[in-house]
Amino acid sequence: MQSDNSHIPRENVDSSDALHSSGEGKAGTKYCVITPVRDEERFIADTIESVLNQTILPIEWIIVDDGSTDATHAVIHRCARDHSWIRILRRADRGYRSKGGGVEAFLYAYTMLSREDWEFLANLDGDLTFPPDYFERCFEHFRSEPQLGICGGTIYDRVEKRLLLESSPTFHVRGGTKIYRRECWEKLGGLLPSLGWDTVDEIKANLLGWRTKTFPEPRLVQHRPSGTVWGTWGNAVNDGEADYIVGYHPLFFIIKCGRQVFNPPYVIRSLGIAYGFLRGIVGRTPHLGDQELRNYLRKQQLRRLFGMSSIWK
């Protein structure tokens, strides 16, 4: 688990965009938001509007343009220019999209937060829209469950004119919707700056006695379904490699691959996941270094397979 983010390069930061009046959290709730974006000119304006319409505004929101090659930066400027609690950082284009879903940009922005009095920290994708009471309702969950360390709402993918549920285990909070309670965040000691980070954080949180949960309400709409930029094959390969990095139990992984045969896109996804896992083995991709955490994950997976109580239920 990485707690030192000093290895992350501070490329071409454009923080001259400190932009209007403060959003001092209604009802005493203070939270910060970080949004890494890359080539999101089609969607980021709607995400900004969703945040601006919240019943509880963030005290600080950093939007990181992670090397966009389209008009993303201009759109962010236009939409956020009148709000001083929104800051825009710009990183140089490294020529490729991060496999870790922007976690490096998130960690970089975290070191640049100017407010230190936050209670909650949110990682928010730049292609989401959600109702005005989204954050308020999430904070209600935190207040009602003192041991809740990470939570988020349920994602629905917009496909043409339909909204399709993006299902996942209840304990798994999608990376771009994660809200961390400060005490939990500090116990985590940082995030893994690679594939699998959004599994490692919640597994470690559960190991430390915190609960992690995706709630059926409130809902978010994702306007670009997960993994679209990588394609069906590439997204499956990334998932398989992430499973290898975090240390999936071999039996659990084999059964996972077998189950994917019966879900769209059927055999392609199953083969892609297996290929990604094998690529990790052959390429000697470094495993998660925390042996205790890997053992805990494997134990939970075996309990799941044998119908025993686990983080799944």
Question: Residue 284 burial (CB < 10 Å; 0-12/13-18/19+)?
Answer: exposed
Does position 5 have pLDDT exceeding 90, yes or no? no
The count of other CB atoms within 10 Å of the CB of residue 209 is 10
Average pLDDT, stretch 15-39?
69
Domains and CATH numbers, the chain: 26-222 (3.90.550.10), 230-305 (no CATH)
Provide CB contacts within 8 A for 145, sequence distance 6+. Answer: 211
Query: In this predicted structure, what is the pLDDT of residue 263?
Result: 81
Q: What is the pLDDT of residues 250-294, one digit of tens each?
A: 999 999 999 988 888 889 999 999 999 999 999 999 989 899 999
CA distances from 124 to 32, 34, 63, 120, 161 (A): 10, 6, 9, 13, 23
Q: What is the DSSP letter of 286?
A: P
User: 20 pLDDT band (50/70/90 cuts)?
Assistant: very low
Query: Whole-angstrom Cα distance, residue 122 to residue 135?
Result: 10
- For the chain, give the percent of residues with pLDDT over 70: 90
Of 109-123, 130-144, 223-237, 255-269, give the lowest mean pLDDT range.
Answer: 223-237
Q: What is the DSSP letter of 287?
A: P
Averaged confidence pLDDT in the chain: 89
User: 24 pLDDT band (50/70/90 cuts)?
Assistant: low
Q: What is the pLDDT of residues 49-61, one digit of tens each?
A: 999 999 999 999 9
User: 231 pLDDT band (50/70/90 cuts)?
Assistant: confident
Does position 16 have pLDDT exceeding 60, yes or no? no
Choose from 74-83, 190-199, 202-211 the range with maximum mean pLDDT: 202-211
Query: In this predicted structure, what is the pLDDT of residue 232?
Result: 87
User: 101 pLDDT band (50/70/90 cuts)?
Assistant: low
Of 166-170, 224-228, 239-243, give the lowest mean pLDDT range.
Answer: 224-228
Does position 18 have pLDDT exceeding 90, yes or no? no
Q: Are the beta carbons of 179 and 148 closer than 8 angstroms?
A: no
Q: What burial letters (b/e) apply to 30-43, b meaning 16+ CB within 10 Å?
A: bbbbbbbbbbbbeb
Q: Are the beta carbons of 5 and 190 closer than 8 angstroms?
A: yes
Q: Are the beta carbons of 124 and 34 closer than 8 angstroms?
A: yes
- One-letter amino acid for residue 122 of the chain: A
Of 5-9, 13-17, 83-87, 220-224, give the lowest mean pLDDT range.
Answer: 5-9
User: 95 pLDDT band (50/70/90 cuts)?
Assistant: confident
Q: Are the beta carbons of 35 and 71 closer than 8 angstroms?
A: no
Question: Residue 219 burial (CB < 10 Å; 0-12/13-18/19+)?
Answer: middle
Q: What burial letters (b/e) apply to 66-80, b meaning 16+ CB within 10 Å?
A: bbbeeebbebbeebb
Phi, psi angles (nearest 5°) of residue 225: -50, 150
Query: Whole-angstrom Cα distance, residue 227 to residue 232?
Result: 7
Does position 227 have pLDDT exceeding 80, yes or no? no
Does position 6 have pLDDT exceeding 90, yes or no? no
Provide CB contacts within 8 A for 8, sequence distance 6+. Answer: 104, 107, 108, 111, 193
Closest Cα partner for 65 from 79, 50, 84, 51? 79
Choose from 11-20, 56-65, 222-231 the range with maximum mean pLDDT: 56-65
Provide CB contacts within 8 A for 182, sequence distance 6+. Answer: 118, 119, 120, 121
Does position 14 have pLDDT exceeding 60, yes or no? no
Q: Are the beta carbons of 6 and 82 closer than 8 angstroms?
A: no
